[in-house]
Chain A
Amino acid sequence: MRRLFILLPPMLWLLLLVAAPLGILGLIAFAEAGPGVPPFIPPLGWAGGPVWQGSSESIGTLLADPYYLEAFLRSLLTAFVTAALCLLLAYPMALGIAGARPPWRIPLLLLVLLPFWTGFLPRLGAWIGLLRDGGWVNGMLGAMGIGPLRLLYSDLALYLGMVHAYLPFAVLPLATALMRRDLALEEAAADLGAGPWVVFRSVTLPLSLPAAASAFLLVFIPAAGEFVIPELLGPPEAQLVGRVLWGEFFQNRDWPLAAGLALALLVLLLPPILLFQRLGRRG
């Protein structure tokens, strides 16, 4: 009885605000767009009984128009490059944190995580101020006789913003795993004749691979659906799924198509999400 009182509130909340919305999303993806508020005809109608009046037109459009396929490919590529860059930067940082003397580890880790608390948009604002045409970086380059360069609204700006935003997510799992590692294993390897680089390559690195995979996916999954960073920093032609979905929804008011895009993104991200959860259970 007491268990029911504990279980019921969150269960009902989640059924109503997670399960139901996703179900509706799947349904609306098969609705027919039309004028009015809301701008679609519900796929399930009522005329003395339930009537199917949906269409697979939106899904058809998604599959037929290369614009959408390109958006998906570009999103996956962007997310992949972002995650790889984050991992490349985060690994030495995590090693540095784990290798610091114990009283320094938590403060250093906080120093990595603190930017997360300074707000997502203010940080993007900083990049806009730095990279725009007459901005700080161009000012510095100009003083050296270079430029001015077109930096903002470019792939460079996009990746700088993405890596800057997601880097803390990559450092955290790596640093925790490396801090917890058994140093005796590395000492044993050294004792058996391995030099520092061989120790790293043959012991440290392989043992931290699950954490590295977690870190990669922790960046890849949200980055694939990212909307704000490409919108504020990226080039106009960088039409990633998040942006395309936003555009279909807010500008074209084609809700079924937006729902179809969301559904497709969900299906695409399902394998990495499941992999991530498996890694989480094991770690």
Chain B
Amino acid sequence: MKRLGLAFGLLFLWAPILLMVVYAFSADRIPFQWGGFSLRWFAALAANERMREAALLSLRIAAGAATLATLLGGLAGWALARFGPFRGRALLGALAGAPLVLPEVVTGLSLLLLFVLGQGAAEAVFGWAPGRGAATILLAHVTIGLAYVAVVVQARLAALDPSLEEAAADLGAGPFTTFRTVTLPLIAPSLAAGWLLAFTLSLDDVVVASFVSGPAGTTLPMLVFSALKIGLTPEVNALAALFLALAALFVGAAGLFLARRANGAG
């Protein structure tokens, strides 16, 4: 009964994805129609200038946003876990938690309004304002990623045995050395997980990016979304297969790494 439920759920989750991967190798012009094995849609994807540009932009934004989010979110998580009760703690907690629960349309619209007013103010003061595009998307994605990183890092720090850091101090390590040799290595996995989460969220986001972007910034999800509004094309199908392969590769590698560490750790 339990196994049946699990099997059904996994089938439901995976069947559409796996079918899509299979048909990515079909020569037929209509997606999900078998026309013999072919790699032509992958070739078409590689030749598609707009797709390539959008993908590159998305990757750059995602990497930058994830890195900044990890830095800021790490600091926020540290403050929440380690500073005890301080004035502004509730505010920090609420603000860091807000992007996790706000609907995407609300986040997107509110950030856009901020950027528009900011542009207006800049124009009034400097006579010139930077346009919206990659930079505004980056700011938005850092904000969302920050929230996730803060939660992950805070949870990890809270679960850490406090006597580990005391032991380091007892053995002669000053506060900075304790952080470098004990705390940082122990929270590194959660920082990595937070970075990855922020990266994925950025790479997956259509709604917020659509709101805050300008004519100059079209990310890959924005491009795919406008394509899907008309219907599925074999190129998008090939792109999805590519995405899945990359994700599987990544998760496989991470899983192997974790398994080795877990085995190494008994």
Contacts and interface: CB of A to CB of B under 8 A. Distances in A.
Interface of A: 3, 6-7, 9-11, 13-22, 24-25, 28, 38, 89-93, 95-97, 99, 106-108, 110-112, 114-130, 132, 134-136, 139, 163-164, 167-168, 171, 221-222, 224-228, 231-232, 241-242, 245-246, 249, 255, 258-259, 262, 265-266, 269, 273, 276-277
A20 B14 CA distance: 41
Contacts of A20: 114
Contact of B240 (A111, A122, A139, A273): A122
Contacts of B31: 129
B174 interface: no
16 contacts: A13-B142, A14-B92, A24-B113, A24-B117, A93-B9, A112-B10, A115-B17, A116-B200, A117-B247, A125-B20, A129-B23, A130-B16, A132-B231, A164-B12, A245-B109, A255-B113
Given A7-B75, A122-B244, A266-B102, A21 B111 contact: yes
A259 B109 contact: yes
B42 to A, nearest CB: 14
Interface stretch (B46-54, B185-193, B221-229): B221-229
Nearest to A42: B117
B247 A118 contact: yes
Given A9-B72, A129-B32, A227-B105, A277 B92 contact: no
B198 to A, nearest CB: 13
A277 B204 contact: no
Nearest to B117: A24
B19 A25 contact: no
A94 B61 CA distance: 35
Contacts, number: 253
Interface string B10-45: 101110110110010000001111000000000000
B101 A167 contact: no
B102 to A, nearest CB: 7
A115 B14 contact: yes
Interface in B95-121: 95-99, 101-107, 109-111, 113-114, 116-117, 120
B123 to A, nearest CB: 11
In this complex, which of A110, A135, A262, A265 has the most chain B Cβ atoms within 10 angstroms of its Cβ? Answer: A262
Contacts of B143: 13-14, 17-18
A115 B13 contact: yes
Given A10-B75, A17-B139, A110-B251, A38 B221 contact: no
A271 to B, nearest CB: 12
Contacts of A231: 229
Nearest to A108: B6
B130 interface: no
Contact of B101 (A25, A139, A221): A221
A133 to B, nearest CB: 10
Given A123-B17, A129-B31, A10 B76 contact: yes
B265 interface: no
Interface string B116-143: 1100100000000000000000011011
